[in-house]
Chains A and B, each alone.
Chain A
Amino acid sequence: MSEKIPVTVLTGYLGAGKTTLLNRILTEPHGKKFAVIVNEFGEIGIDNDLVVGADEEVFEMNNGCICCTVRGDLIRIIEGLMKRKGKFDAIIVETTGLADPAPVAQTFFVDEDVSSKARLDAVVTVVDARWLKEQLHDAPEAKNQIAFADVIIINKTDLVKPEELADVERQVRAINAYATIHKTVKSSVPLDAVLGKNAFDLDRILDIAPEFLEDVHVHHDTSVKSIALNIPGDIDPDKFMPWISEFTQKEGPNILRCKGILSFKNEPKRFVFQGVHMILDGDLQREWKPDEVRQSKMVFIGHKLDRSAIEKAVEACRA
């Protein structure tokens, strides 16, 4: 089987600068060919050969999992695109400003035909520095978009004062602990900041600043937050696996995303997992390097998550 096609999902609240970023990606001299999937009622003027209009049809999966939704149109479009191999190297999906990113992300976990041919490279969220505060207050979508992001672009930084920008960044961090943040004017970021991120390569969650781990729940009354855990030593998979599966089943509707790199006892390889709501996906990836400290790190992003309960439960899974 050939390489899976990387898919970048571009989200962001209305007017944040998504289309500007998209056009920037498309017009840079990178020699890459993109297939772009945009909302058919969205903005026009996208400078690309292969643009497909999508109608953002969200389907519930009739599988007993209430929060398991997929984008039916995306499944169809990706299936159609894959019949024309060689026409493009990567796919970019632009969602509408009000879209919940969960169904888009879940499509890449749930649908076998999609996941066998394409992989979610990263969710990139563009944030309007000037209006974020209001949007977080008014729109749950804005929060979810930040929570889901692997990369966050705080845009229009020229329109706010430095202290306001610092505040915006703190708010973003409070929601999402692990995303890479870029601060831009006119969505001007280098291409490699948004493409080829490989969301499954979760190494950067190991880089979360320690002070942040303590900081998360202190300020800002946002209802979506990150809980990051760092457990030195090994985890017992026979305890952890049943717990995480039960936890995501029970708390699934509240968990927007979770990710982790685990050190299992007597396992030379790192166990890497990530999930969206109730859907979990994990496998053993590369081996721990000799000079690497064996430890387990994970991040849960969601609503109403009980930090101390999660800490206690994970602590109980230590080998």
Chain B
Amino acid sequence: MNDASQSLTTRVEPLKAGAHVIHAGFLNDEPLLALADGRVLVGEQTLTPHGENAILVATSDPARLVTGGDDGKVFSITSSDTVDQLGDEKGRWIDAVALGPSRSVAWSTGKKVIARDGKGQTKEWTAPSTAQGLAFTPKGYRLGIAHYNGASFWFPNTEGKPEFREWKGSHLDITFSLDGRFVVTSMQENTLHGWRLADGKDMRMSGYPSKTRSLSWSHDGYWLATSGADAAVIWPFKDKDGPMGKAPRECGVRHAKVSSVSFHPRALVVAIGYEDGCILLCRLTDAAELLVRAAHKDDGKITSMAWDKTGARMIFGSENGSAGVLTLP
């Protein structure tokens, strides 16, 4: 990956998605796509857990996919013949889903947040306003919830009131650093907000021309890649103050906004997907770039990207239904 003029475009195998790709991933090492028209593609298999209804949100880890639909249902898919319904919110749109440790899952609809542990026990909490983003802490059974005017941190198995961190404005997505020291939300106001969990110290990460809707941590946990600008904006989180007082790195500067980011699971390389369908790989250490996929006007933005466990393959999908798998040389 030394030559910046090198291209990986010939190493991309296209996949037929045919609908807005909500989520791309690998399930048991097979390419996985969750589509807005309700279909889930796992390798050669097509599943329709939500029937004709739409999948609105989905997330996966190497062993399971969780989908939330406009039918109010939440499904867990662990293989092409193991589909379980986890929840049914009676037709209310599922706004967010998250996967946690020990096979736990969380989802939300409006203000209602449901956490389900690995044994299938569910707990419910009502957020002060719509829960727009959910994320489990890396360790322990604790859920972070992004909502209007702040974020709440909830231990589903304890009776106490969730801890609330206030910051004015509407918080959308939420993510914890891998060591659990920091939490970061994206906001309606084209900015990121963060808190150091130990003392609640605020961190503002601003300057985006549009909303950040994709966030990805590097494998060592020291960097957070973000979408929303004309480059992937990558914030340093190594020091005890996180990114405070430091400038972020910018990778893959183009005349198009970044819509999706995904760090390689073993190297400081980030996959960057743009609103025009282009995808680059960018190495953080020297900003070397490799073209994975050229811009394609009909494709719309890249909506989701993910690496397999070893980092040998990367899957992506776009809003207009194109998708593919990159296999590294």
Q: A and B: real partners? A: yes
A residues near B, CB below 8 A?
52-53, 55, 57, 59-63, 70, 72-73, 75-77, 80, 83-85, 111-113
A84 touches B130 (CB 8 A): no
The residues of B that contact A83 with a CB separation of less than 8 Å are 20, 22, 36, 54, 56, 319
Give the residues from 80 to 138 in chain B that come closer than 8 angstroms, CB to CB, to chain A. 92-93, 95, 110, 129-130, 132
CB distance from A206 to the nearest CB of B (A): 35
In whole angstroms, what is the CA distance A84 to B19 when docked?
8
User: CB of B202 within 8 A of chain A?
Assistant: no
B54 touches A84 (CB 8 A): yes
In whole angstroms, what is the CA distance A73 to B129 when docked?
10
Tell me the total A-B contact number using a CB cutoff of 8 A. Answer: 58
Q: A75-B188, A83-B56 are in contact. List 5 more A-B contacts (CB 8 A).
A: A61-B169, A80-B93, A83-B22, A84-B20, A112-B211
Give the residues from 158 to 201 in chain B that come closer than 8 angstroms, CB to CB, to chain A. 168-170, 187-189
The residues of B that contact A57 with a CB separation of less than 8 Å are 129-130, 148
In whole angstroms, what is the CA distance A83 to B36 when docked?
6
A72 touches B170 (CB 8 A): yes
A52 touches B129 (CB 8 A): no
A72 touches B130 (CB 8 A): yes
A72 touches B70 (CB 8 A): no
User: CB of B78 within 8 A of chain A?
Assistant: no
Ranked 7 nearest A-B pairs via Cβ: A62-B169, A83-B36, A83-B20, A62-B168, A59-B170, A62-B189, A80-B56
In whole angstroms, what is the CA distance A55 to B92 when docked?
11
Complex interface bits, B9-30 against A, C-beta within 8 A gives 1, otherwise 0: 0000000000010100000000
- By secondary structure, the A interface counts as mixed
The residues of A that contact B210 with a CB separation of less than 8 Å are 112-113
B70 touches A80 (CB 8 A): yes
Q: What are 28 inter-chain pairs, A to B, with CB distance below 8 A? A: A53-B92, A55-B110, A57-B129, A57-B130, A59-B169, A61-B169, A61-B188, A61-B189, A62-B168, A62-B170, A62-B188, A72-B129, A72-B130, A72-B132, A72-B170, A72-B188, A73-B130, A75-B188, A76-B132, A83-B36, A84-B20, A84-B36, A84-B37, A84-B54, A85-B20, A111-B188, A112-B210, A112-B211
Interface size on B, residues (CB 8 A): 24
In whole angstroms, what is the CA distance A143 to B130 when docked?
29
**Contact A59 B132, CB 8 Å, known A72-B148, A112-B210, A112-B211:** no
CB distance from B206 to the nearest CB of A (A): 11
B residues near A, CB below 8 A?
20, 22, 36-37, 54, 56, 70, 92-93, 95, 110, 129-130, 132, 148, 168-170, 187-189, 210-211, 319
In whole angstroms, what is the CA distance A59 to B93 when docked?
20
In whole angstroms, what is the CA distance A150 to B222 when docked?
53
Closest residue to A50 on the B side, CB-wise?
B70
The residues of B that contact A62 with a CB separation of less than 8 Å are 168-170, 187-189
The residues of A that contact B130 with a CB separation of less than 8 Å are 55, 57, 72-73, 76
The residues of B that contact A111 with a CB separation of less than 8 Å are 188
Closest residue to B300 on the A side, CB-wise?
A1
A77 touches B93 (CB 8 A): yes
In whole angstroms, what is the CA distance A75 to B132 when docked?
11
**Contact A113 B211, CB 8 Å, known A80-B54, A84-B37:** yes
Closest residue to A77 on the B side, CB-wise?
B93
The residues of A that contact B93 with a CB separation of less than 8 Å are 52, 76-77, 80
The residues of A that contact B37 with a CB separation of less than 8 Å are 84
In whole angstroms, what is the CA distance A83 to B319 when docked?
7
The residues of B that contact A59 with a CB separation of less than 8 Å are 148, 169-170, 188
The residues of A that contact B95 with a CB separation of less than 8 Å are 76
The residues of A that contact B168 with a CB separation of less than 8 Å are 60, 62
In whole angstroms, what is the CA distance A60 to B189 when docked?
10
In whole angstroms, what is the CA distance A62 to B191 when docked?
10
Closest residue to A111 on the B side, CB-wise?
B188
Closest residue to B321 on the A side, CB-wise?
A85
In whole angstroms, what is the CA distance A111 to B110 when docked?
20
CB distance from B104 to the nearest CB of A (A): 24
The residues of A that contact B189 with a CB separation of less than 8 Å are 61-63
The residues of B that contact A53 with a CB separation of less than 8 Å are 92
In whole angstroms, what is the CA distance A83 to B132 when docked?
17
The residues of A that contact B70 with a CB separation of less than 8 Å are 52, 80
The residues of B that contact A77 with a CB separation of less than 8 Å are 93
In whole angstroms, what is the CA distance A57 to B132 when docked?
12
